Amino acid sequence: MDFDAPLETGYGVGLAAGWQLSSTAAAGAQLCPFVSIAGVFGPNLSGAGLNVESRTVSAAGGASFGIPLPLVEGRSLVPFASLALARARRSFSVGDAAVNSSDTFAQLGLGIGLVISNRLTVRPAVSIPVGREDGQSTLSIAAYVNLGRRR
């Protein structure tokens, strides 16, 4: 189902966890498996006696591959590519009627992370769904807290 509502907005929240497998020199390649869960709520529309609500909940697991490029002490840029398998469940309701659908697909991610003082990463990225007829690419900007030991 394709649903465009340019004047309405929704919001999304998510949680991700990952870990770095390679611990070689700072300039070496890094492979980072991850899992994530996210929800998108809206856009919700009302008018003409109808209330339309939409939401999507998704879970994914995959791996990112990146190469850190050191800038100054404790800071680096990390261009990356990722591939994940995702499962999404969409729900639309109009009044008392509801329609649910589920889909499994691959997600290709491309972006660059800015690592700040080895504890915080700011990461803009684009996510491209693969294998979905109605898939649309999304742009995100996320902040990650890096836990674990310092390198």
Domain segments of the chain: what residues? 28-145
DSSP, residue by residue, 25-54: -TTS-EEEEEEEEEEEE---EEETTEEEEE
Give me the residues paired with residue 126 across strands.
110, 139
Q: pLDDT of 43-92, one tens digit each?
A: 777 766 677 888 989 999 999 999 989 898 878 999 999 999 999 998 98
| Strand 120-130 to 138-145 pairing | antiparallel
Instruction: Tell me the average pLDDT of the chain.
Output: 84
Distance CA 89, CA 62 (A): 18
Question: Residue 135 above 70 pLDDT?
Answer: yes
Question: Which pTM was predicted?
Answer: 0.75
Specify whether domain 28-145 bears CATH 2.60.120.620.
no
Mean pLDDT throughout 12-27? 74
Q: From residue 144, how far is each of 19, 114, 119, 129 by CA, in Å?
A: 12, 10, 8, 22
